[in-house]
Amino acid sequence: MIKRVLIANRGEIAVRIIRACRELGIEPVAVYSRGDENSLHVKLANEAYCIGPPSARDSYLNMQNIVSTAIGAEVDAIHPGYGFLAENSTFADLCQQCGLIFIGPSPRAIEEMGNKERARKLMEKAGVPIVPGSKGDLEDALEAMEVAGKVGYPVMLKAAAGGGGKGMRLVKEPDFLKRAFSLTRNEAEKAFSNPQIYLEKFISRPRHVEVQVLADNYGNVIHLGERDCSIQRRHQKLIEEAPCPVLDENLRQKMGEAAVRAAQAVDYTGAGTVEFLLDADGNFYFMEMNTRIQVEHPVTEMVTGIDLVKAQLQIAGGEELDLKQKDVKLEGAAIECRINAEDPAQDFLPRPGLIKEWLPPGGPGIRVDSFIYSGYVVVPHYDSLLAKVIAWGTDREEARRRMSRALGEMRLEGVPTPIDLYKVILEDDNFCSGNYDTGFLPGLIEGKEGV
């Protein structure tokens, strides 16, 4: 049983974790940087401890300070949230060494999924579909030429230590491959201190479809359906929804089963997400597994009725999943819009500053996960997510209309946001029909300047 939890994070996710703790009768302990003294998670927690100066490197990424604070505060466990130390196997291991429960999978599972090339190999062995490409990491450009010749152009070179769009390069024809190989290798060495690279056939304009899984410490693994996260730019997701509008029951079951096999292959525990590319012909391919709670988890909560953060806390406390696969039923549809302090007219440049007015939306089917209030000053040291607006409806059309209504109701003054852009997207014919892919937003932005 977990009685006290230290939350090694900030912003909306820290608030989200505090809420789950409260509902379970667990005492939440906050940590904060000197830039976050006025943050909501500090006010809402039972206790809060300063762990360093504003820069993330010296505070939310400072493992020693966080673990020392956890020991001093006599907590049983640490919840890392997302970002920061959430997928750092060294941190998960350090927690264990200090007798603290890390709320997440084992250090080994984090590490095995962290190396994207090793994960790819593991998935192939586990019978999870992967994109045709290299067997292991590539020896040299010659081997890359050979593999690319076999799978056909265009191809993608990817750094084993990359992920989330980092360290990858599209190669359209053989003439460019040698040069691209050495560039990608050098960048991988510089950025990740790991020069390993692998090659995949390029999947054109895929949908980004990810499957939520839950696994306990006793070998029970279930999936909770999928989220479509194709509305993104430069690998920043802006709008997500559940279920994916183009999946039928048959494909949903196949992807769900593949995600469960992926989790089982690394003895996964806790909440995790298996990310797939889905092509226009209904083929799906494993991309990576995120070994953390994700920003977009609420859309899954809304259609399954399952509280994922509570599930994380219960699993980490040693409880057995009382839920079986047949008990998971998807009901209705949910859409999430991320409200960032960013200016779409200036290439989504982050714009911290004073929140002059914040009136969140409400009413039927609307959920808001946020940490801001009128008078709060957004600091420049962290990511720019201020709030997530989630709309649920009995079907996708009701969710979409509720989201439009919510965006119309809310007032957020003082910093620029993409709210007006979202209003346009929600009325777009292709969005309305569910006919979109990862090329949708770049196309919309280029076609409509200034939106």
Find the shortest distance in angstroms from Cβ 233 to ligand MV4. Answer: 8
Q: Name the residue nearer to ligand MV4 (CB basis): 8 or 131.
A: 131
| Interface of this chain with ligand MV4, residues 148 to 177, rule: CB under 6 A | 156, 164-165
- What residues are paired with 168 via a beta bridge? 158
Yes or no: say if 206 and 437 are a contact pair by the CB < 8 Å rule: yes
Two tokens, residue 313: 């806390």
| Interface of this chain with ligand MV4, residues 216 to 245, rule: CB under 6 A | 232, 235
User: Residue 209: which residues within 8 A CB-CB, separation 6 or more?
Assistant: 226, 227, 228, 229, 230, 244, 247, 255, 275, 276, 277, 278, 284
Q: Is 375 in the site for ligand MV4 (CB under 6 A)?
A: no
Contact window for ligand MV4 (CB under 6 A) among 100-108, 136-144, 194-202, 333-341: 194-202
Q: Is 203 in the site for ligand MV4 (CB under 6 A)?
A: yes
**What's the CA gap between 271 and 413, in Å, rounded?**
35
Task: Name the residues annotated as catalytic.
Answer: 292
Find the shortest distance in angstroms from Cβ 237 to ligand MV4. Answer: 8
**What's the CA gap between 167 and 237, in Å, rounded?**
18
In the chain, how many H helices and how many E strands? 15, 22
Yes or no: say if 197 and 116 are a contact pair by the CB < 8 Å rule: no
Q: Name the residue nearer to ligand MV4 (CB basis): 216 or 342.
A: 342
Residue 403 DSSP SS3: helix
Find the shortest distance in angstroms from Cβ 70 to ligand MV4. Answer: 32
Contact window for ligand MV4 (CB under 6 A) among 46-54, 144-152, 197-205, 417-425: 197-205
In this structure, what are the phi and psi dihedrals at residue 214, rounded to the nearest 5 degrees?
Answer: -130, 135
Q: Name the residue nearer to ligand MV4 (CB basis): 60 or 286.
A: 286
Q: Is 117 in the site for ligand MV4 (CB under 6 A)?
A: no
Q: Which of 82, 192, 202, 376 is the binder for ligand MV4 (CB under 6 A)?
A: 202
Find the shortest distance in angstroms from Cβ 249 to ligand MV4. Answer: 24
Two tokens, residue 236: 């920043």
**One-letter amino acid for residue 449 of the chain:** E
Contact window for ligand MV4 (CB under 6 A) among 104-112, 183-191, 198-206, 216-224: 198-206
Q: Name the residue nearer to ligand MV4 (CB basis): 117 or 200.
A: 200
**What's the CA gap between 356 and 443, in Å, rounded?**
33
Q: Is 131 in the site for ligand MV4 (CB under 6 A)?
A: yes
Q: Is 41 in the site for ligand MV4 (CB under 6 A)?
A: no
What per-residue string of b and e applies to 177-214 under the rule 16 or more CB within 10 Å gives b?
A: beebbeebbebbeeebebbbbbbbbbbeebbbbbbbbb
Mark 287-326 with x for binding to ligand MV4 (rule: CB under 6 A) and - for no binding. xx--------------------------------------
Find the shortest distance in angstroms from Cβ 120 to ligand MV4. Answer: 10
The CA-based diameter of the chain, rounded to the nearest angstrom, is 62
Residues that bind ligand MV4 (CB under 6 A): 131, 156, 164-165, 200-203, 206, 208, 232, 235, 275, 277, 287-288, 438
